Amino acid sequence: MFSLISTILFYSFLVYCVLSFIKKNKKRTKNDPPMPSFNLPFLGSTYRFESSVVQSLLKFTKQYGKVNALWVGDLYTLNVADAVYIKEIWTKHIDNFIDRPNTKILAALSDDHTGLIGSGGKEWNRNKELIGGYFSSLKLKSQLPRISELCMQTIDKLTKQPNTPINPRGVFREYSMDVNTGLILSLEPSQMNKQYREMEGRFDRFLHGNSPASLFYCIDILSILFSYKFTDARKQRQYLIDYVKSIYDDHVSTLDPEKPRDLMDKMIMEEGDEMSIINTVIDFYLGGVDTTALVLQLFFLSVTNNEGVQDKVYEELKSLASKRQSELGLDSTTEPYQFTFADRLETPYLNAVIKESLRIYPPTPNSILRECNQDIMVGDYFIRKGAMVIQNIWAVHHDEDYYPEPNKFIPERFLEDNHASHYFPFGIGGRSCPGSNVADITLFLLCANLLSRFKIKSEDGGSNIKCDIKDGIMLHLSPFKVLFDQR
């Protein structure tokens, strides 16, 4: 009996492998995007991956073209690294590519596709209506004084111990967390209790401990074997839901329709569904807090490791500060000038350095996957229903056709050309990062006010920070410390 069962299982497995092999190596139409000619059962094209997914996809782009297909486990996937096709797919045909993949792990991570990151179709459009331009540049103007205040508090934290190496990540995360909390929940740092601070760690663990792109979740059989991870992800999400629900209940009971305090009040007034509001708030934290903190780390890594950049930024800021102090009748010897977001109009070199940092290190190098809802022809290529689609920002930002010497840090390239047609560090289209304006403000204010006062050095006092950068949904940096040398 045991022998019979073993035989049946063996031949069933063999048939599965044969069918899987045929499926993954057969073209559907003559317009299918080019892909590797040999794809394995289970693994698909991933047996050719190196340790870095970003570099592997870049290699595929160079070998098969800027629009190519591959099998990530059992998922047919389109790797789009052409700026023209990215705009076609993510803007012109957005309705056909609006959804996230309907995978078990993404459902677990997004509370069954509610909120902002994991939802699709009508659910996503409704969530977008609830937000309603709350983070537009115009709406954020009233928040600039508060963000500036938090910026200066952050600089004090970073520099309160001169000549002492500090890991800036925690301070950057706190800065980003405080800015977002003020905008979304109107809580001041003094109101943030122990449970709130514990949430910072939980957001961090949830984000970095659950990657929906993991091969475990892309191979059908393995996703069954590792189904316990779905349960664990749901438990982690539920803890976040329970915490934010307590804040939601308080907002409902204290709501004044004449004086909405924050984004949560606005969504409640728009009669949003309770769970959609709660999960949208969670997604803003998951997508916004870590992204801004990461962008700040990458900026300071870039300016420290590229000799001369900081000094050029400092001279530009010093000149503008002197001009502003003269215009305002301020004494430059008593108090350093505090830069405002309006000053960005007169800091072309700093703006170029920020852009170059985001070009060479886009925080979400392959964005978050989308799913093709219906068969469609886009340009020369047929994209099949159910295909996973990657917006390969990293490949575009490192394309020699767009950026000569793409691996070199050259801020001057943005002084000559804004590269608008092929520069999108926060994604592109209707589902691009909704908090990008907040990131722009927090980044400029901290960079301008910090670099005008201090020179950043590596832990040993030099100009070379040693840091490993690993990729995933977001880039992840190994810990590093810096010194702040007062100007």
Give the residue numbers of the binding site for heme. 433
Q: Which tokens hold the place of 435?
A: 């908090």
What are the φ and ψ backbone dihedral angles of 377, each rounded to 5 degrees?
Answer: -100, 125
Q: Find the angle CA(236)-CA(443)-CA(141) to the nearest 5 degrees.
A: 95
C-beta of residue 111 within 8 angstroms of C-beta of residue 118: yes
Pairing verdict, β 388-391 and 75-80: parallel
The contacts of residue 345 (CB under 8 Å, 6+ apart) are none
What are the φ and ψ backbone dihedral angles of 258, each rounded to 5 degrees?
Answer: -80, -20
The rounded distance, in Å, linking the Cα atoms of 456 and 317 is: 15
Q: Which residues does residue 346 pair with via DSSP β-bridges, in sequence order?
A: none
Which residue type sits at 470?
A: K
What is the DSSP track for 224-287? Answer: HHTTHHHHHHHHHHHHHHHHHHHHHHHHHHH--TTS--SHHHHHHHTT--HHHHHHHHHHHIII
Instruction: Give the residue ranges of the annotated binding site.
Output: 433
